C-alpha cells in the first residue's frame, strides 16, 4: 500500500492563520531498478522529489505513513527527472502554492494517497476540466503517475511530495479546493495504532477550511471499522453535510482498482462516503 500523509497530533487553533493509501498495484518490469546508495540522494541535481521536503521546518507528529524511495525503476526515475520541474512540487511548508498558476486556472481536487496512480489517471482522463493534485510520499508511484500523465496527454495532473497536513495547513489558501479524495487509506487495524489513521476530527476540520463551498469530500474504504469511524468523524464536522443519510452508493467516477478488487475477492465490503462543504 502507498502511504497516507499524517494524522496530526495537534493542529493550529486557527488553521487559516498559518496520506491515504490509495489502491496500489505491483508493477513488474524488465527495466533495471534505480535504487540509490545508502546516504546518497536519489535526485542530487534537484530535478526530482526531495527525500524530506519539510525537513525540520515543522513539528514532528505521529504519522500515518512511512516514506518509501526504493525500487524506483529506470522509467519511473527518468519520468521524475524530466517531469518533476513542470508537474511536481515538494511539500516544504515554506510558501503558499498558487493553484491557479499551477493548474492553468482549473478547479482543483486534492487526492491524498494515490498509490501507483492508475485510478488517478483514469479520473483525470474522464474529467479534463478538473485538475487533480495527488499527494503521496511513494516515489515509485510518483514517477509512475507522471509517466502515465505524459503518455496519455493528461495535462490536468500534478504531484505533491510530502505530508498532506503540511500541504493543507501551510501551502493551500482557504477555500481553494474543489474537492478532496481519500481512497483506501491505511486502516491501522490494531487498536493501539488507531491514532495513526488519517480521518480524525482535527484533520477533517483543517481540510474543511481549505474546501470551497459545495466542494465534495469523497472517502472510500474496505475496512468496516474504519468506515464506521469515517462516517462518525465526517458527520460530526459542522462544515460538512452528508449527501446521503448513511454510506453512499459507489459513484461511477471512482474507478475499480486492483486493491479494491482484491478486497472484494476476500469478501470485504467497500464503503463510499460523500460529503459536501456547506455554503
Q: Are 234 and 242 in contact (CB under 8 A)?
A: yes
Nearest-angstrom CA–CA distance, 221 and 223: 6
Q: Are 276 and 215 in contact (CB under 8 A)?
A: yes
Mark whether 186 is an active-site residue: yes
Distances (CA, A) of 68 to 50, 80, 243: 12, 15, 36
3-class secondary structure, 146: helix
Strands 177-183 and 108-112: parallel
Nearest-angstrom CA–CA distance, 179 and 58: 25
Cell numbers standing for residue 157: 495532473
Treating both helix axes as pointing N-terminal to C-terminal, what angle do 224-236 and 201-209 enclose, rounded to 10 degrees? 50
Distances (CA, A) of 46 to 25, 85, 212: 28, 9, 33
DSSP 8-state symbol, 208: H
Nearest to 107 by CA among 132, 135, 134: 132
Q: How many CB atoms lie within 10 A of CB 178?
A: 19
Sign of torsion, CA 40 160 20 1? negative
3-class secondary structure, 57: coil
- Exactly one of 90, 186, 222, 272 is catalytic; which is it? 186
Query: Known catalytic residues?
Result: 186
Amino acid at each position: 500500500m502507498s502511504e497516507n500523509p499524517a494524522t496530526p497530533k495537534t493542529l493550529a487553533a486557527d488553521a487559516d492563520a498559518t496520506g491515504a493509501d490509495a489502491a496500489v498495484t505491483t508493477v513488474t518490469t524488465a527495466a533495471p531498478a534505480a535504487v540509490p546508495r545508502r546516504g546518497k540522494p536519489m535526485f542530487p541535481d534537484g530535478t526530482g522529489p526531495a527525500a524530506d521536503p519539510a525537513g525540520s521546518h515543522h513539528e514532528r507528529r505521529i504519522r500515518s505513513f512511512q516514506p518509501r524511495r526504493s525500487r524506483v525503476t529506470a522509467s519511473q526515475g527518468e519520468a521524475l527527472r524530466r517531469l518533476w520541474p513542470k508537474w511536481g512540487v515538494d511539500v516544504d511548508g515554506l510558501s503558499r502554492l498558487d493553484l491557479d498558476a499551477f493548474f492553468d486556472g482549473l478547479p482543483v481536487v486534492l487526492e491524498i494517497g494515490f498509490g501507483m496512480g492508475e485510478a488517478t489517471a483514469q479520473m483525470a482522463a474522464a474529467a479534463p476540466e478538473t485538475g487533480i493534485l495527488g499527494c503521496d510520499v511513494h516515489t515509485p508511484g510518483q514517477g509512475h503517475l507522471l509517466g502515465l500523465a505524459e503518455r496519455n496527454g493528461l495535462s490536468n495532473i500534478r504531484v505533491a511530495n510530502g505530508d498532506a497536513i503540511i500541504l493543507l495547513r501551510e501551502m493551500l489558501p482557504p477555500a481553494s479546493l474543489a474537492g478532496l479524495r481519500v481512497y483506501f487509506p491505511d486502516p491501522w487495524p490494531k487498536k493501539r495504532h488507531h491514532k495513526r489513521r488519517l480521518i480524525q476530527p482535527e484533520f477533517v476540520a483543517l481540510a474543511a477550511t481549505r474546501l470551497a463551498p459545495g466542494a465534495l469530500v469523497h472517502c472510500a474504504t474496505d475496512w468496516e471499522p474504519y468506515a464506521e469511524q469515517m462516517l462518525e468523524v465526517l458527520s460530526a464536522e459542522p462544515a460538512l453535510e452528508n449527501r446521503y443519510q448513511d454510506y453512499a452508493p459507489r459513484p461511477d467516477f471512482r474507478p475499480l482498482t486492483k486493491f479494491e478488487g482484491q478486497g472484494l475477492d476476500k469478501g470485504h465490503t467497500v464503503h463510499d462516503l460523500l460529503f459536501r462543504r456547506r455554503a
